[in-house]
Structure 1
Amino acid sequence: MSSQSKATGHAVRGLKAGISVMCAAVLSACVNYAGIHSDQQIAQPQHYATQQSVPAQGGRWPAPDWADQFGDAQLKALIDEALRGSPTIDQARARVASAAAYSETAKAATLPHADASYSYTREQYSGTALVPPPVAGTWQSENKGVLSASYELDLWGKNREALRAALSQLQASEADAQVVQLTLTTAVARTYNQLARLYVLRDIAQQEIAQREQIDRLTAGRIATGLDTEVERKTAQANLATSRAALKAIDGSIVTTRYQIAALLGAGPDRGLAIARPELGVGDEVRLPDNLPADLVGRRPDIVAARWRVDALTHEVKSAKAEFYPDINLSAAIGLDAFGFGRFLTAASRTVSAGPAIHLPIFDAGELRAQLKGRYAEFDYAVATYNQTLVTALSEVATQLADIRSTDGQLIDAQTAQSAARRADELALTQYKAGLTNQLTVLNADTNALSADQAVANLLMNRRDQQIALAAALGGGYTDASDAAATAATAATADAASASIAAR
């Protein structure tokens, strides 16, 4: 290091020490942040009891392509199309770009600035004012060119903390974009599953129509033999018409569900009409991964976004505290200033200036304290939001797991009931053909069989819907893209945020 650099370093340290002494001497007369603080801290996953509701089962975290487990190529294509064309994804990208631009603006505040300017002025000077002869009363052309530079020393870290806050907000925006992506892919998958449900219910409705058409024909034959009356015939016809109306209602729901999928894709409604019938499979076995509560904070993009916002507010509080200390700006300028063009480029026209500018707030009617209180309030809100996001995430995982286990149990009983109802329906129809029972028995058995078929179909579709929701609750394959060490440091900083910012 050169002697000049050493001298400069000593000078800066000496200046900072001198300013510190000055601040200590006049702090009682200046604005200060005494008494303004926060005791809020972010919660840790282990603080919540989850051992029974969210047990370790040796499972795996969802992969980014978690929807592939259902074996439907059309679903995969629809999700890819949605991620390419949905306006919600474009909105998320725009928010990330805005946050990135803001962080670049914050970075610029930490660096020196240089400007160049040139001006030409044609002016008649007063003959009775400050300008003496021979210029007084004459017209003159003034040429002025200046190259200037300025740099804020940022001794108290105001700009550096603002930059760190902006970078954390950028990380939060990127995590928010992942939240949007996960929400969109989940919505596409669940709506697609609803379309599959409607097609299965349509099959059941068609089977029911065929069954009731058969009952209508049998009733007509029984009327001819005197076993039934016109009452039974009209009853059979009414039930057949009801079944056909139900089928038309399902067809209408299929069309509207296709329109919903098209909207999720960012396409017009006609795109939905081209969607074929889903061919979804059962999916993978449901088992939760180990160490879930602790690892979930890095797997859920909404939790990651909330954590980065706590970190951003930590730095914003520090930046707001630095506002109470003096601002020191160094500026310098060199240029040429002359009347006329002939003397403009001569050494005599040279102008040079340099010096520091110091600003120390003494009385601001409470503006800085109010600003700091606002930052603390935002910090407290960010901490509360993080804690609530974590609670909600754990609850969603536990709820979806409980729903899946409940549905599995219901399916066993529902399939048993379906088998019995179907057998009863077959026996009743056989007896009706043989004239051994009446139409009411057949219709009751038919209604029970229809309800049993619908119950099993809905449970199977609910099971898949809950499986999709569980994959989303586990983060949908997301992992925090930031460096692991930086993430751990961020979490540690946020955990002790109130103590850290109070120490400044």
Structure 2
Amino acid sequence: MTAAAMMAWALAGCVNYSGIKSEKAPAAATAFETTQSLPSEGGRWPSLDWAAQFGDPQLPKLIAEALEGNPSIAQAQARLAKAQSYIETSRASLFPNVNGSYSITRNRLSANGIFPPPLGGMWYTENNALVSASWDLDLWGKNRARLASAVSQRKAAEADVQQARIALASSVARTYNQLAQLYALRDIAAREVANRNNVSAITRERVTAGLDTNVEKQTALGNIATTETTLTDLDGQITTVRYQLAALIGKGPDRGLHIAEPALSRTAVLALPDNLPADLVSRRPDIVAARWQIESAMQDVKEAKAEFFPDINLSLAAGFDALGWSHFLTSSSRQFNAGPAIHLPIFDAGQLRAQLKGRYADFDFDVAHYNQTLINALSDVATQVESIRTIDREMGDAQRALDASSEAYRLAVIRYKAGLSPQLQVLNADSNRLVAEQTVTNLTMQRRDLQFALIRALGGGFDAQSAGIDVPIAAAVPASAASAVSAN
């Protein structure tokens, strides 16, 4: 058998993969410049219960309800289960395969054929029972590489499940914040109706006193109707967003009608965690999934390389074969065969080389995808951070504008009531105050929305090591990954 293996090795040299390799390698997070845009500020990474920090007990409950029943999570979990089935299938190839069979055949030989009587022209029954076993020795690690690839795919699927959970939780939070924004704008509109009713009452008094005309009276009434229209429109938008929340949590639209008015607290001061670029690769599940795809592609390359070497398969079969029943299970009816089967890739018109090139192409694609995912992640974090800081700078000016316009409106109403200024001055002051109040509210809600987006950009509390899907060193260190794949 040793001589046969050596001969097979020599013959296999006719087909080789020389010259086929890859120079690609996954980028390190520290290779990108982020010190100015993402400075270390001693902040903390988001925790899995990040929603609780916003002070509204309804939000964590809605997120939990969404994670329990949303179809998108069920889809991700189904993909995970399918990946697990690939592992079980691949693992089975590492062990001997045993099968049993039994057949019974009723035959009649021709009386005018090659078998003379008494065999010719008679009926007989043939019984055949056989137990067979085979085992691929996997000398070059092809099956082991296939199993490792399946394990990597399952790890990637686990990360995808976490990514789906984080995306869903973020979507629920941001839609909930949109609901809070609409309620805040509705409160402003309701107060505006009261303000314009007050102005209308003053106008009626002035009309009675002969200080205003019916023009000012109708203008005041028109402004009230316009604000009430805005109030009705906001009520419709609130109902629509409730339906959107119900869909996110995987329920019918009626579920959204039972969601209470949000009571979110003001957002906290922004502080980025230390060592952000390096730690981000294990905090974002999309990056972790992309790294496991590289590991899977590396194993696929190893499997393709093993195809260039001889396959040795041991086979064994034993059983009974007899005509009729009388001698079927006797020692004289025993049958037995055993021996190795050797597959020699001598000439295949370039099929194996083409297959290996395809696996390297998949590896290069996965490396490029990982690098792009990492770049996008860093850009995502930096974008959310800068947007929040911009709003913080805007908020001071917006609040001063609101304070000034509110005081101007108050004084305008006093002067109008005293007959010292026309209605137009009150309406202009009211319009300025209304815009300023809406601006402050929108900026506040936009900042919270960006904070939800930043929590998602930072991984939403995910930690690959805690989840048991941290990537091995071979894929985490670019130099090791490149040498492992290109080695002959």
Q: Same fold (TM over 0.5)?
A: yes
Report how far residue 488 of structure 1 moved: 4.0
Report how far residue 130 of structure 1 moved: 5.2
From 7, 12, 22, the counterpart of 1:23 = 12
Residues 172 and 309, structure 1, Cα contact 8 Å, conserved in 2: yes
1:159 maps to a residue whose letter is N
Report how far residue 482 of structure 1 moved: 7.2
Residues 402 and 436, structure 2, Cα contact 8 Å, conserved in 1: yes
Pick closer, same or farther for the CA change 1:162–1:464 going to 2, 3 Å: same
Report how far residue 495 of structure 1 moved: 4.8
Pick closer, same or farther for the CA change 1:481–1:90 going to 2, 3 Å: farther
What is residue 243 of structure 1 aligned with on the other side? 227
What is residue 34 of structure 1 aligned with on the other side? 18
**129-138 vs 157-166, which deviates more?**
129-138
From 97, 114, 117, the counterpart of 2:101 = 117
Q: 5+ unaligned residues in a row in structure 2: which ranges?
A: none
Equivalent runs, 1:71-470 vs 2, <5 Å? 71-129=55-113, 131=115, 134-470=118-454
Report how far residue 481 of structure 1 moved: 4.2
What is residue 476 of structure 1 aligned with on the other side? 460
Pairwise CA RMSD of aligned residues?
1.8
- Cα deviations across residues 368-412 of structure 1 (Å, max 9, x unaligned)? 222222211111111111001100111111111111111111111
Pick closer, same or farther for the CA change 1:143–1:201 going to 2, 3 Å: same
What is the aligned residue count? Answer: 488
- Cα deviations across residues 70-114 of structure 1 (Å, max 9, x unaligned)? 011110110110111111111111110000001111111121100
Pick closer, same or farther for the CA change 1:407–1:493 going to 2, 3 Å: closer
State, as a whole percentage, how many aligned pairs show the same letter.
53
CA distance in 1, matches of 2:476, 2:410: 67
From 21, 26, 47, the counterpart of 1:63 = 47
Pick closer, same or farther for the CA change 1:22–1:133 going to 2, 3 Å: farther
Residues 12 and 346, structure 2, Cα contact 8 Å, conserved in 1: no
Report how far residue 249 of structure 1 moved: 0.8
CA distance in 2, matches of 1:230, 1:485: 75
- Cα deviations across residues 322-367 of structure 1 (Å, max 9, x unaligned)? 1122221111100001111111110011000111111122333333
> TM-score by structure 2 length?
0.96
Residues 11 and 344, structure 2, Cα contact 8 Å, conserved in 1: no
Residues 24 and 482, structure 2, Cα contact 8 Å, conserved in 1: yes
> TM-score by structure 1 length?
0.93
Report how far residue 38 of structure 1 moved: 1.5
2:8 maps to a residue whose letter is I
Residues 16 and 155, structure 1, Cα contact 8 Å, conserved in 2: no
Residues 56 and 291, structure 1, Cα contact 8 Å, conserved in 2: yes
CA distance in 2, matches of 1:482, 1:431: 66
2:203 maps to a residue whose letter is T
2:431 maps to a residue whose letter is T
SS in 1 for 2:431: helix
Report how far residue 127 of structure 1 moved: 3.7
2:430 maps to a residue whose letter is D
SS in 1 for 2:121: coil
Q: 5+ unaligned residues in a row in structure 1: which ranges?
A: 1-10
What is residue 3 of structure 1 aligned with on the other side? none
CA distance in 2, matches of 1:412, 1:483: 42
SS in 1 for 2:471: helix
Residues 307 and 494, structure 1, Cα contact 8 Å, conserved in 2: no
Residues 38 and 376, structure 1, Cα contact 8 Å, conserved in 2: yes
Residues 43 and 495, structure 1, Cα contact 8 Å, conserved in 2: no
**432-441 vs 123-132, which deviates more?**
123-132
SS in 1 for 2:232: helix
Report how far residue 131 of structure 1 moved: 4.8
Residues 325 and 360, structure 1, Cα contact 8 Å, conserved in 2: yes
Residues 326 and 361, structure 1, Cα contact 8 Å, conserved in 2: yes
Residues 308 and 490, structure 1, Cα contact 8 Å, conserved in 2: no
1:389 maps to a residue whose letter is T
Pick closer, same or farther for the CA change 1:18–1:214 going to 2, 3 Å: same
Report how far residue 18 of structure 1 moved: 4.6
Report how far residue 492 of structure 1 moved: 4.0
Pick closer, same or farther for the CA change 1:288–1:142 going to 2, 3 Å: same
**259-268 vs 14-23, which deviates more?**
14-23
Pick closer, same or farther for the CA change 1:389–1:35 going to 2, 3 Å: same
Report how far residue 486 of structure 1 moved: 6.6
Report how far residue 66 of structure 1 moved: 0.6
Residues 474 and 481, structure 2, Cα contact 8 Å, conserved in 1: no
Pick closer, same or farther for the CA change 1:73–1:247 going to 2, 3 Å: same
- Cα deviations across residues 124-161 of structure 1 (Å, max 9, x unaligned)? 12345455654333211111111100011111111111
SS in 2 for 1:333: strand
1:436 maps to a residue whose letter is L
CA distance in 1, matches of 2:191, 2:216: 21
CA distance in 1, matches of 2:455, 2:418: 53
**321-330 vs 142-151, which deviates more?**
321-330
What is residue 43 of structure 1 aligned with on the other side? 27
2:365 maps to a residue whose letter is Y
CA distance in 2, matches of 1:480, 1:41: 21
- Cα deviations across residues 416-446 of structure 1 (Å, max 9, x unaligned)? 1111110001000111101111111101100
